[in-house]
A and B are shown apart, each in its own frame.
Chain A
């Protein structure tokens, strides 16, 4: 009987140790690594902390007034009421025009093929706009239906009378409660979305 007691005690000790080992595994901290210096580079990684800059992060905005290389034109209309009116009246979708002759080369697409492509603009619209503005552009997106965000107007709203220029301007800067989408969509994508919004507006006005 005494031997029995002892062996069972041993079993219990082993069991407690195993349970202890298992419970030490914590998911809130990362696992061990073999050679951490091979995992982490000397160079900066995206979003890393860094003493090199005043605000302590590696990710920085481009210096003011600089533009990236390549085919890029800065958007020069100001984010003001006058700027909005100016864009609304004058700004036109460059994708609607055929490619200028001097920019055509073998890599460029056929000038006869329209550059406005709903197959590009549509999915982008669904990701970035449809969640509030609705798949049809009637202001009945999922967030509006669930009463998370209210007051999203329909694209055919007569008081606003949006144009391609004003759509682009608002995507670029945002307006009132709507934020800017300039960092989620690049210039060409914005114009593709503009074209798709115009299509939705035309469908709504039918």
Chain B
């Protein structure tokens, strides 16, 4: 099997050298690829069905094995051929190992014990239900050559993202600036042209002895305005009020961080995690359920998934380019911080200096669990459409007026809450309402939040 590819590749390289015209080489290369692919699939098809093997591999093996990288277990690309060449082990051995590796280790099979010790004595799950056909399908899948599309996406590949399209974001930015600059220059030229035209016209008029501008003698407008005291007074009052309005507006927004979106040390896209992948907010911010803080998740929670996700899909990477982010580099930053070398923790970890966005002043008390667990409020009510945010920003003003407004408008959730049953009954009778708002339950008392 292997030899046939080899000879094909050799042929194509030889051909390449013989050809004089340079662009022919790529064509021949393509042809070589196509031939290689057709041959490889037809050859493997005799052995097992790699398509079925792929789905079996993904459900059964992929938790611990990757094709080209060791994970919990060894990399499995060409595992059958490698074992046959290097260890002299046949399909029988593989079948026995896959169905019950623990028994082989117990029986003292030399290579079984060796590989068991090599991978930190992690026991491989037994797969007694896999048939001979299943196993040969899986092995057919692992024997497939590296898909050239994965290594190097090119036109015609399913995962091909046009590089020009991906980089189009940057180029678009540049060309936008260019267009704007060109427009500005154009406007400048137009203005100059107008001035010039007017001047020449005036000159013509002068040359022909015509009076260009007939100035009427009278009080100019500004003098008339100054002489009218009433108008001056009104304008002064108007300007005072207007400036008062703006000064008030400025002072009222001091200390309000609405829209604050700092650059974080590791770029984290809520859009991908919470939006595209639909991971619940509380998966990472688990303390929001039970404590005052909705903590910034510790890095072990990132590693729950990123232990096995070290690179993003090509399509996601292309999306990142539009935002000017290289997601793979950001995952590497995570690995550096947590001290992960790809297979194990090195123990050399560094804290990440996240920048806090939502920060109430210390004289105001706020408890997440009261709002999330007791009141059952959606995170988005206060934090906005986080699942659409590529860069996290503060959606709400977090001012006292904003808090109080919501307490006035929101009904207390009494369903399934025995704690509130009695007080709700008595208070609703007192106020003569069916549903109490948070404010009527005492949500406006100063001491509730300031003490």
User: Which one of A47, A126, A183 has the greatest number of beta carbons of chain B within 10 Å?
Assistant: A47
**A31 adjacent to B257 (CB under 8 Å):** yes
Chain A: CB-nearest residue to B308: A177
Q: How far is the CA of A148 from the CA of B123 in the complex (A)?
A: 24
Confirm or deny: B305 has a beta carbon within 8 angstroms of a beta carbon on chain A: yes
| Chain B residues with CB under 8 A of A40 | 361-362
Confirm or deny: B196 has a beta carbon within 8 angstroms of a beta carbon on chain A: no
Encoded as 1 (CB less than 8 Å from any A CB) or 0, chain B from 267 to 301 comes to: 00000000011111011001000100101101011
Encoded as 1 (CB less than 8 Å from any B CB) or 0, chain A from 114 to 149 comes to: 000000000000111001000000010011001111
Chain A: CB-nearest residue to B350: A55
| Chain A residues with CB under 8 A of B361 | 33, 38-40
**B277 adjacent to A148 (CB under 8 Å):** yes
Chain A: CB-nearest residue to B300: A179
The interface-forming segment of B20-28, B59-67, B326-334, B434-442 is B59-67
**A27 adjacent to B60 (CB under 8 Å):** no
Encoded as 1 (CB less than 8 Å from any B CB) or 0, chain A from 74 to 106 comes to: 000000010000000000000000000000000
Chain A: CB-nearest residue to B128: A159
| Chain A residues with CB under 8 A of B60 | 151, 153
The interface-forming segment of B37-45, B138-146, B224-232, B248-256 is B248-256
Q: How far is the CA of A46 from the CA of B297 in the complex (A)?
A: 12
| Chain B residues with CB under 8 A of A9 | none
Confirm or deny: A202 has a beta carbon within 8 angstroms of a beta carbon on chain B: no
| Chain B proximity of A59: nearest CB distance (Å) | 8
Partner of B261, one of A27, A127, A147: A27
**B128 adjacent to A149 (CB under 8 Å):** no
Q: How far is the CA of A49 from the CA of B353 in the complex (A)?
A: 9
**B278 adjacent to A81 (CB under 8 Å):** no
Confirm or deny: B314 has a beta carbon within 8 angstroms of a beta carbon on chain A: no
| Chain A proximity of B381: nearest CB distance (Å) | 18
Confirm or deny: A66 has a beta carbon within 8 angstroms of a beta carbon on chain B: no
**B278 adjacent to A131 (CB under 8 Å):** yes
Instruction: Identify whether the interface residues of A are mostly helix, strand, loop, or mixed.
Output: loop
Confirm or deny: B427 has a beta carbon within 8 angstroms of a beta carbon on chain A: no
Encoded as 1 (CB less than 8 Å from any A CB) or 0, chain B from 303 to 343 comes to: 11101110001000000000000000000000000000000
Asked, given contacts A127-B282, A131-B283, A177-B63, whether A146 binds B256 with beta carbons under 8 Å apart, the answer is no
| Chain B residues with CB under 8 A of A148 | 277, 305, 309, 313
| Chain A residues with CB under 8 A of B259 | 27
Confirm or deny: B149 has a beta carbon within 8 angstroms of a beta carbon on chain A: no
Q: How far is the CA of A109 from the CA of B15 in the complex (A)?
A: 83
Chain B: CB-nearest residue to A159: B126
| Chain A proximity of B313: nearest CB distance (Å) | 8
Confirm or deny: A72 has a beta carbon within 8 angstroms of a beta carbon on chain B: no
**A176 adjacent to B72 (CB under 8 Å):** yes
Given contacts A131-B279, A150-B63, 19 further A-B contacts (CB under 8 A): A29-B260, A30-B257, A31-B260, A32-B254, A38-B363, A39-B255, A39-B362, A39-B363, A46-B293, A47-B295, A49-B353, A127-B280, A128-B280, A131-B277, A147-B313, A149-B309, A151-B58, A159-B125, A159-B128
Interface residues of B (CB under 8 A from A): 58-65, 71-72, 121-123, 125-129, 198, 213, 253-257, 259-263, 276-280, 282-283, 286, 290, 293, 295-296, 298, 300-301, 303-305, 307-309, 313, 351, 353-354, 356, 359, 361-363, 393
Interface residues of A (CB under 8 A from B): 1, 27-34, 38-41, 46-47, 49, 55-57, 81, 126-128, 131, 139, 142-143, 146-153, 157-160, 174, 176-181, 183-186
Q: Which 8 A-B pairs have the closest CB atoms?
A: A151-B63, A150-B62, A151-B62, A179-B304, A39-B361, A184-B286, A41-B362, A176-B72
